Amino acid sequence: MRRLTFRQWVGYAGFAVVLVVTVAVAVWSGDILRAGLDPQVPFQTYEPPPAPDYRSASSWALQDDGRSDQAAVFFVMPTTFDGGSGWNGAIDDARANAYMRRVVLPNYASPFAREAKVSAPLYRQASLYTRLTLRDDAREARAFAYEDVKRAFDLWLANHPTGPIVIAGVEQGGELAARLVREELQAHPALKSRLAAAYLIETLISPEMFDRRIAPCDAPDQTGCLVAWMSVRNGDESAARRALRRALEWNGRGELVELKTAPICVNPVTGAIGQPRAEARQHSGATNATGLEWGARPALTGRLVSTECRGGLLWHSAPDADFLTAGGSWADRRKIVPYNLFYGDIERDVATRVAAWRRKAASEPRPPVSVAPLARSG
């Protein structure tokens, strides 16, 4: 048997090392990339970026921007900051804001702009890393972001003292909007009479969290209610398990704790928790508006997916549409998808509820205006 030379041994050994490294990267690449987003500093000793001044226009991505003044929308954006450099992102982070303007605003804020003026604060959002771990540090970073949203809302509400309002949030923004709705209705129960609806998009939250102050919508024209869902493609059981395993909600002390009960699922196609299933023919329209300028309405493609709320999740069929694909970096593929499967459905739902709110307001008797008697002269 021919013996291998030293050079051959080195060659084979090198090949084996390369093979092992290649397999390791393939198997553990997610863990490696996720670790690269870890700030490597305890949140308790972390120095966050400067707080936004919401009296300044530079602290808002949108301020009363939209095609109609039928309602006012307070929109809380999803995660756009990757992390690595900190637990929470600065509001002037160039990369995060570029993603926000290219992907988030045209796909997720724009459906609200057809019937309302939309305002969206820039806030020191928790990083993408905090969405990929259940560490206490990550939960504290997510709770920290709420303080900015609360301050922005207080100023926004003071500037919109009358008329119907909508509170909306997506992913991280939906989580923060859920706490905002609960705490505002707890402190100011009368605010519910102004609420056309609250939209918690791609958000897992239980009805128990709201202490019966607000309920899931059970009719398309109901007002003062919640529309919330987390979508999963039919057959993707691993994604469903992962979403439920990572689901957190707020306790009474403002802490994020594990979700213990079935989350709310209001089908955005039917707009009613009591109508969990919708056929594809009922679907109003999906779009990929990424890169579209603000104010431009994208083309919609309807009748693409059937949907069903089951086990607290919104299951949908696979859309037969090449434009509904997610690409980008490893981090971008773990953010909200760069298209909106329910753009047309959200648009229609908002229009229906705002119109219902205005009909109800117009039919209610107005309190009599008291006129003080004129003082007599002399």
Report pLDDT digits (tens) over 160-187: 999 999 999 999 999 999 999 999 999 9
Q: Confidence band (pLDDT; 50, 70, 90) for 328?
A: confident
In a domain, 228, yes or no: yes
377 lies in some domain: no
Query: Which residues are CB-contacts of 173 (< 8 A; sequence separation ≥ 6)?
Result: 75, 76, 77, 78
Whether residue 13 lies inside any domain: the answer is no
pLDDT value at residue 326:
81
Question: In this structure, is residue 128 part of a structural domain?
Answer: yes
**Mean pLDDT within 309-324:** 96
Residue 305 lies in a domain: yes
The answer to the question of residue 372 being in a domain is: no
Residue 265's domain comprises 39-360
Rounded alpha-carbon distances, angstroms, from residue 134 to 264, 283, 332: 21, 35, 20
C-alpha 42/C-alpha 54 separation (Å) is: 28
**Residue 375: is its pLDDT beyond 50?**
no
- How many structural domains are present in the chain? 1
With respect to residue 333, please indicate whether it lies within any of the assigned structural domains: yes
239-271 pLDDT tens trace: 999 999 999 999 999 999 999 999 999 999 999
Residue 283 lies in a domain: yes
